[in-house]
Amino acid sequence: MNMIKYKPVTTICPFCGVGCNLELHIKDNFIYKVTAPFDSVVNKGNLCVKGRFGYDFIYNKRRILNPLIRKTPQKSGARSQAFNLEEWQEVSWDEALDYTAKRLVEIYQRDGSNAMAVYCCAKATNEDNYLLQKLFRALFRSNNVDHCTRLCHAGSVVALQKAIGSSAMSNTAAEIMETDVFIITGSNTTETHPIISIQMKAAIEKNGAKLIVVDPRRIEMVNYATLWLAEKPGSDVAVFSGMAHVIIKENLYNKEFIDTRTENFQNFSKAMEKFTPEYVESITGVEKDKIIQAARLYANAKRGAIYWALGISQSTHGTDNAHSLINLALLTGHVGRYGTGLNPLRGQNNVQGASDAGAMPWHYPGYQEVDDEQSASIFEEAWNIEPGGLNREKGLTTTEILSNAHPGGVRSLYIMGENPMMTEPNLNAAHKHMQELEFVVCQDLFINESGAYADVFLPATTFAEKDGTFTNTDRRVQRVRKAIEPLGNSRPDWEIICDLARRIEKLLGRPNSAYWDYSHPEEIMDEFGKVVPSYQGIKYSRIEKTGLQTPVLDENHPGTPFLYAESFPIGKAKFFPLDFKTIDEEADTDFPLILNTGRVLEHWHGGTLTRNSWLDDLYSQAVVEINPVDAETYNIKNLDVVKVQSRRGEVVLRANVNQKTIPGVVFMPFHFAEAAANFLTNDALDPEALIPEFKACAVKIEKVTEDQLPTKQPYQPRGRY
Amino acid sequence: MTDTVKLKINQQEIECDKDLTILQAAKSVGVTIPTICYHDHCTSNALCRICVVEVKGARTLVASCVAKVSEGMEVETYNERVNRSRKTILEMMLSTSDLSQSPELLEMASEYGANNDRFGDAERRSPSLIDDNSMFVRDYEKCILCWRCVQVCAEDAQYAFAINFKGRGYHTQISTFYEKPLPESSCVFCGQCIGVCPTEALKPKRQWLLELGYESDQIMQMTRNERNKKTKKPQTSSVVK
């Protein structure tokens, strides 16, 4: 049979923050192939396994295509999970939305705005997120609005905001091709940002760039590195302060940059005195010579750049970790120029956009603070709210929302597309909190571990069935296009939110409407641009072919490939003197190993999408990676079934004995519900960013029998690194 | 030293950057030279030879995808010798490979008057389709050995180095090392190879199943075992190991 060739639909990949451009090839509403345009500035014809093959979740038979209400009413304290469709009643959209509106309004009118909370979604569009936070702020007057950025880059965001006044990636990823020295730390780039990693490899192999990897794991990029600083988990501040010490001592810093663009150098310099290479070696395990070499290499670069991800931020001192990187860039002046920069690689396809859209408890859209009178009045005007109507109190963060789920605290939770029952730390505690809620709404594609707790399930469409925009990791706002008709009775998130908001507004009897009568997401973006200056110039007509990088200040503004050329948003950037802090839960005799968690190439976060995709065939079960030295100590052979236990929980899975982790550290991916790493992780928080310490907790490991393995899938060997 | 050179392409005088290939120089003045193995985003290797042109004074025809322009060069992008050469290349391809899903190549063949039966008694390459994972299938009966897949798997994009040529001469075929199934090779399933394959020899599994006549619903109801079904490789004794 010959395929009829239709013109493919161009859109944006829904997986990671790189924001690859896709071409969807469709026959009879079925996407059978994905290619990438070779002229795309982001991915230049390249894709990773998820972008190329991972879209089949759209058609998975488990996808929910009708609104559902739980047959047995759920009560606070006795809420249970319902994965089986038998436990749900299919209802009409009217019935589902009327019921949802009624229950939410009841709780709001009884317990007030503090009882309301929402998880927005870094996978949904800017428009969807803008509307959902608008619904909770304008109608329920609640700032309990957050999303997975809290579990992701909150430490980086807080540090960048304090030190330079803006938290996005400073430069464009493609500039790596002209960088001569770069640091990757806390990012397993080949697995988590595959397309950026191939640009990094090309920069090294073709253009001779030098790479310094600072990571407790021997990640694939180490194969391309000039230096690998195999630090102990959580010792980042010491490593980077050690580098700063060397740069100051050897007079390799950029005096002119420090004098004209920064402040607080003297105090910082003094705080760095104690971080001698000898001292740093003693606490980080990194040989002092490597610290000296790394410092010289980075400081002497013409264009030095730092790329980091969650290994830095997911820590009880994640903010300090990020400060230690910012300090290095300020010290050497490797920021504000092409090919340099402070580049936090954002995880989700639209985590930058969801944050820009105000899906955060302390900020309105555009990082305008909720406790600032002037910002509040901007939004009161934009949303037809009486002066003083909006809540001036900072809301609760993702983790706080759940831990406040008790009578007198949060009573209802609206979850759009997130799966906290996989992605929260210390899942046993998180489940208990979830069970305390009085009313839970889930708007998603599948009944995942969180949706199973819901009273109402609202079936949303996938990225391929709706219009909108995603903002990628280098701040590029790109157009997501409806390529196929929505399956079953699923509806785009923005439509669901607007329909629900109108019902809530009516029940509340508000005199003025905050406005929900959009006919197309384009109109939502126009409203968004009016209240967020950096999106003012974003118009759908301007981003049809190529996205624009924010800030885009007006309709003629060309966008901003790299930031801070002239000045920092707060004027002079600030050095932060730092001290070394240990991880919250160190290894001891009872729990002698440190567990590190992260992602693998074939899967995505909580697994809602990729565990429901054929991608699962490539990587169908969790494994714990353990160094041969530790494997011998605990008598574990490759592929043995083991139990990993922490003070909070235990999981059973296969062991993979290899040298990717250093002795004393084991690694688990967190995608697999049947062996969820987050049952083990520690919910201790960074005091400023309130991000949990996902990356390090104490565990013990023991061999158990094969029949204890929760999955019956045969093990799929993978030959890749 | 000047950065441009003057040359003639099909009697037309042009001046262009000295670093251009003849193919690029021709394109810059609107002269199209046919290509098959060449791809804008891959390193040119002059494998298929379809882009050959005649350069005055050169003993043989020159592959324009790699040959640089030079001062005073006189190029003919088509003439009897060039066209005959292209026709023969296409006839050899037709005799060995299944081009049924390569409309551009078939069109080119008819444009050059290539005769399907020119090498009628030639041995066709007909290796069995390799179906060893649920992402994509490899049907090397359609492969013309353009090498793009190997290049993008290596330094042209992915740095995965999962595939290369195996065998010699006529028996050359793209393969993983030791013919390992793809999941056990260093393949990361990025599918860059599918993106550059000119003959549909590499095809996403769901597209392939659709073409076999399965309905989309049937495809999505397949169990893990069904979609992962391994197709046994036949023992081709003629393959030089």
B207 and A1 within 8 Å at the Cβ level: the answer is no
**Which two tokens mark A239?**
């490593």
- Provide the pLDDT for residue B224: 87
Q: Is residue B200 part of a domain?
A: yes
The tokens for B55 are 């350069």
Residues on B contacting A at a C-beta cutoff of 8 Å: 40-41, 101, 133-136, 152, 155, 157-160, 180, 183-192, 194-196, 204-207, 210-213, 216, 220-221, 224, 227-228
Residue B180 has pLDDT above 70, yes or no: yes
Confidence of residue A572 (pLDDT cuts 50, 70, 90): very high
For chain A, the structural domain boundaries read: 9-59, 68-152+349-549, 154-344, 593-708
Residue B17 has pLDDT above 70, yes or no: yes
Side chain identity at residue A202, one-letter code: A
pLDDT at B230: 53
Which amino acid is present at A494? Answer: W
Q: Distance between CA A151 and CA A315 in Å, rounded?
A: 10
CA of A648 vs chain B CAs: smallest distance (Å): 34
Interchain pair B211, A720: CB under 8 A: no
Pairwise CA distance, residues A552 & A543, whole Å: 12
Q: Which of residues 10-49 of A touch B (CB under 8 A)?
A: 25, 27-30, 32-36, 38, 44-49
| Residue A591 pLDDT > 80 | yes
CB atoms within 10 A of CB A654: 18
d(CA A10, CA A45): 12
pLDDT at site B233: 36
Q: Which residues on B lie below 8 Å from A602 (Cβ)?
A: 189
Q: In Å, what is the CA distance from A242 to each residue of A205, A215, A280, A696, B89?
A: 29, 15, 6, 21, 63
Distances (CA, A) of A71 to A63, A437, A442: 19, 17, 15
Q: Do B144 and B216 belong together in one domain? A: yes
pLDDT for residue B232: 39
B233 CB neighbour count, 10 Å cutoff: 14
Q: What is the pTM of this model?
A: 0.95
Joined tokens for residue A429: 């505690």
Quick check: is B182 in a domain?
Answer: yes
Return the minimum-mean-pLDDT range out of A99-103, B175-179, B221-225: B221-225
Task: Give the C-alpha separation, A452 to A85, whole Å.
Answer: 10
At residue A711, does pLDDT exceed 90? no
- CA-CA-CA-CA dihedral for A479, A484, A486, A492, to nearest 10: 0
Give yes or no: residues B140 and B72 share one domain. no
Tokens 């400023």 belong to A688
The letter for the amino acid at A342 is: L
CATH number, domain at B185?
Answer: 3.30.70.20
Angle formed at CA A337 by CA A334 and CA A339, multiple of 5 degrees: 80
Query: pLDDT digits over A52-77, tens only?
Result: 999 999 999 999 999 999 999 999 99
Mean pLDDT of A128-142: 98
Q: Who's near A199: CB < 8 A, 6+ residues apart? A: A173, A174, A176, A177
* Residue A570 and residue A680 in contact, taking contact as beta carbons nearer than 8 Å: no
Tokens of A173: 């990823």
Alpha-carbon torsion (A378, A383, A384, A385), positive or negative: negative
Q: How far apart are CA A387 and CA B23, in angstroms?
A: 68
> For residue A73, is the peptide bond before it cis, meaning its omega torsion is within 30 degrees of 0?
no
Among the listed residues A511, A517, A480, the one whose alpha carbon sits nearest the alpha carbon of residue A497: A517
Task: Give the gap in angstroms from C-alpha A220 to the nearest C-alpha of chain B.
Answer: 11
DSSP assignment of A179-202 equals -SEEEEES--HHHHSHHHHHHHHH
Distance of CA A19 to the CA centre of its chain: 13
Best CA proximity match to A247, nearest among A163, A307, A328:
A328
Closest to A209 measured CA to CA, from A86, A301, A78, A73: A301
Burial track A63-92 (b if 16+ CB lie within 10 A, e otherwise):
bbebbbbbeeebeeeebebbeeeeebeebe
**CB proximity A52 to B under 8 Å:** yes
Question: Residue A642: enclosing H or E segment and its boundaries?
Answer: strand A641-645
Amino acid in the structure at residue A167: S
CATH of the domain at B54: 3.10.20.740
pLDDT in tens, A657-679: 999 999 999 999 999 999 999 99
Q: Which CATH number fits domain A9-59: 1.20.1510.10, 2.130.10.30, 3.20.19.10, 2.20.25.90?
A: 2.20.25.90
Mention every residue, 6+ apart, whose C-beta is less than 8 A from residue A492: A128, A460, A461, A465, A466, A467, A468, A486, A521
Instruction: Determine contact, residues A547/A479, Cβ cutoff 8 Å.
Output: yes
Angle at the Cα of A276 from the Cα atoms of A274 and A279, rounded to 5 degrees: 90
Task: Say if strands A641-645 and A650-657 run parallel, antiparallel, or are unpaired.
Answer: antiparallel
DSSP label of A144: -
Nearest to B159 among A53, A198, A601 (CB): A198
Dihedral sign of CA atoms B136, B140, B142, B143 in order: positive
Among A419, A323, A421, smallest CA distance to A689 is for A323
Q: Residues A303-345: pLDDT tens digits?
A: 999 999 999 999 999 999 999 999 999 999 999 999 999 999 9
Check whether A112 has a pLDDT greater than 70: yes
| A720: chain B residues, CB-CB within 8 Å | 160, 185-188
B31-69 confidence digits (pLDDT tens): 999 999 999 999 999 999 999 999 999 999 999 999 999
B150 plus B216 within the same structural domain: yes
A283-300: average pLDDT: 98
> Taking CB atoms and an 8 Å limit, are B183 and A206 in contact across chains?
no
Q: Is A487 on the interface with B (CB under 8 A)?
A: no
A715 touches chain B (CB under 8 A): no
**Residue B214, CA distances (Å) to A29, A398, B135 in order:** 15, 44, 16
Q: Residue B1: what pLDDT?
A: 56
CA A428, CA A679: separation in Å to the nearest integer?
6
Is the pLDDT at A4 greater than 70? The verdict is no
- The dihedral sign for the CA sequence A386, A388, A394, A399: negative
Residues 6+ apart with CB under 8 A from A596: A216, A217, A233, A661, A665, A666, A667, A668, A695, A696
DSSP state of A483: -
Average pLDDT of every residue of chain A:
96
Q: In the prediction, which pLDDT does A3 show?
A: 54
CB A239 within 8 A of CB A214: yes
Query: Would B207 be classed as within a structural domain?
Result: yes
| Domain covering A68-152+349-549 in this structure, CATH number | 3.40.50.740
Bridge partners (DSSP) of residue A164 are none
In the predicted model, is pLDDT for residue B161 greater than 60? yes
Measured between alpha carbons, how far is A442 from A258 in angstroms, rounded to an integer? 49
Which of A22, A23, A618 should be substituted to probe chain B, the one whose Cβ sees the most B Cβ atoms within 10 Å?
A: A618
B99 belongs to a structural domain: no
Model pLDDT, residue B226: 85
The per-residue pLDDT for B189 is 98
Count CB neighbours of A388 within 10 A: 10
Does residue B237 have a pLDDT over 60? no
User: And the tokens for A396?
Assistant: 């609760």
E strands, chain B, in order: 4-9, 12-17, 52-55, 62-63, 74-76, 136-138, 163-166, 173-176, 202-204
Domain annotation covers residue B128: no
Residue A203: pLDDT over 80: yes
d(CA B130, CA B73): 47
Query: To 5 degrees, how large is the angle CA A104–CA A105–CA A108?
Result: 90
The mean pLDDT of A456-478, rounded to a whole number, is 97
Nearest CA in chain B to A601: B188
Please report residues of B whose CB lies closer than 8 A to that of A36: 195
Count: domains in chain B: 2
- What is the spatial distance between Cα B161 and Cα B25, in angstroms, rounded to a whole number? 32
Question: Where does A593-708 sit in CATH, by number?
Answer: 2.40.40.20
Range of the domain at B177: 136-227
- Please name the residue of chain A whose CA is at the shortest distance from the CA of residue B184: A719
| H or E stretch at A169 | none
CATH architecture of the region A154-344: 3-Layer(aba) Sandwich (3.40)
- Cβ-contact A671, A611 below 8 angstroms: yes
ipTM: 0.94
Task: Judge whether A493 and A147 are in contact, CB under 8 Å.
Answer: no
Asked whether the predicted pLDDT for residue B209 surpasses 90, the reply is yes
Is B60 domain-assigned?
yes
Coil/strand/helix, residue A697? strand
Candidates B43, B107, B135: best to mutate against A (most CBs of A within 10 A) is B135
Place of tokens 């003849």: B22
CA dist., res. A551 & res. A561, Å (int): 9
Q: Please compute Rg for chain B using Cα positions.
A: 21
Measured distance CA(A92)–CA(B198) in Å, rounded? 48
Count of other CB atoms within 10 angstroms of residue B85? 18
What does the alpha-carbon distance between residue A184 and residue A325 come to, in Å, rounded to a whole number? 11
Buried residues in B152-175 as b, exposed as e (16+ CB within 10 A) = bbbebbbbbebbeebeeeeeebbb
- Span A79-107, average pLDDT: 98
A165 sits in the region (left: phi over 0; alpha: psi -120 to 50; else beta) called left
